[in-house]
Amino acid sequence: MIVLYLLLLVAGFAALMKGADLFVDGSSALAGNFKISKVIIGLTIVAMGTSAPELAVSTSAALQESNEIALSNVVGSNIFNLLFVLGICAIIYPVPVDKVILKRDIPISIVITVLLLLMTSSGVLFNKDFLQFKMNDIAGDVSRLTGIILLVVFFCYIFYLITDARRKRTEEEEPEEDIPLWKCSVLILFGLVLIIGGGQAVVYGAKAVAQVFGMSETLIGLTIVAVGTSLPELVTSVVAARKGETGLAVGNVVGSNIFNILFILGISSTIHPIGVNVASVYDVIILIGVSILVFLFSMKGKVINRIEGIIMLLIYAADMVFAVIR
């Protein structure tokens, strides 16, 4: 039986990957048909496409009331993106960090993560007996109101990015060959079907595997599910690094992390409030620490070098060991 659950997980991840790929291709082509700027496409449609697996898994988990998977998937994906994806890219080729991302987007990602922590678990976090709580004890929740606030902040952020990109654009982009509208629609619809179906399969398979091995949903969401749903970001960033387009790697990771917290958690908690246990509080604190570390690495020389990349991978390995042991 366990083999079937594992096969379901693999099939779900494969569907998520292919669905996200088709969705991005179809959406980008559709935008091209309507002569929408590539900058806007990258900031909105492509960002949504690469984070579509996380969206599918977290919303599916929220609908199935698997709250631990819904939250730990987002937090785990963000930790994976910062430490593993950027770490691998830095080892392949030192990663320069754009000054705009350094001054605007990385600080924004840190601030919203801190706000998430305060909005969901401040009562337990500042309790003098916090260290005495068990990992499965409830610390708070991501309420519907919090979810709506996250969505409002997200749309304000996207509106600002689009406005800023339009203002700074100085040259016209080369036109591309149009793909027929019907083909764009087929790619988008088929991509969405694969994403939704894959998300359902991953959540079901992950819950079943967790039950068989006696693992918590938080652990399975933080590790297997988080890594699987972050594969589009990993592939995109590694390919960019190999081509020397390392600036794309940082933008992809930071943008995806902001999208994950604001949009995915916003949508998921609006559908169904997400419970936050003490284990997730620790993970969010770790995410804040990791975000600050990456920010400090980026500040030094405006580049993340190979040594720092190795350090990031070692920290990720240590975090996974901590997640398993606890």
Output the CA–CA distances (angstroms, integers) from residue 284 to 74, 168, 226, 261, 292, in the order listed.
10, 35, 14, 11, 12
Cα–Cα distance between 253 and 80 in angstroms, integer? 10
SS3 136: coil
C-alpha distances (whole Å) from 131 to each of 124, 286, 295, 320 are 10, 15, 28, 20
The pLDDT, as a whole number, for residue 39 is 46
**pLDDT tens by residue, 102-130:** 888 899 999 999 999 998 887 788 887 77
- Establish how many alpha carbons lie within 13 A of residue 211's alpha carbon, considering only the half-sphere containing its beta carbon: 10
Ranges of H-type helices in 80-222: 86-92, 99-100, 106-125, 144-168, 181-213, 217-220
Q: What pTM value is reported for the model? A: 0.77
Percent of residues, the chain, with pLDDT higher than 70:
83
* Residue 95 pLDDT exceeds 60: yes
297 falls in which pLDDT band (50, 70, 90)? very high
pLDDT at 272: 85
Q: Which amino acid belongs to residue 2?
A: I
> How far apart, in whole angstroms, are the C-alpha atoms of residue 45 and residue 39?
10
- Residue 93 CA to chain centroid, in angstroms? 23
Which of residues 48 and 197 earns the better pLDDT score? 197
Task: State pLDDT tens for residues 21-47.
Answer: 787 777 767 767 766 655 455 556 666
Are the CB atoms for 107 and 288 separated by under 8 Å? Answer: no
Helix (H) or strand (E) holding 142: strand 138-142
3-state secondary structure (DSSP) of residue 96 = strand
Residue 151: what pLDDT?
95
pLDDT value at residue 172 = 45
Of 203 and 302, more confident: 302
Q: Please give the mean pLDDT across all residues of the chain.
A: 81
Q: What are the tens digits of pLDDT across the range 261-283?
A: 999 999 989 988 888 888 889 99
Q: Which helix (H) or strand (E) holds 138?
A: strand 138-142
- Percent of the chain scored above 90 by pLDDT? 22
**Cα angle 221-235-193, degrees, rounded to a multiple of 5:** 65
* Separation CA 51–CA 204 (nearest Å): 20
pLDDT digits (tens, 9 = 90+) for 164-210: 766 765 444 455 556 788 888 898 888 878 877 887 788 778 778 77
| pLDDT at residue 313, rounded to an integer | 95
| DSSP structural state of residue 272 | S
Residue 141 CB contacts under 8 Å (≥ 6 apart), including other chains: 67, 120, 269, 273, 274, 275, 276
Among 152-161, 213-222, 271-280, whose mean pLDDT is lowest? 213-222
- 3-class SS at 58? helix
Note the pLDDT of residue 40.
Answer: 56
Cβ atoms of 217 and 18 within 8 Å: the answer is no
**CA 215/CA 136 separation, integer angstroms:** 12
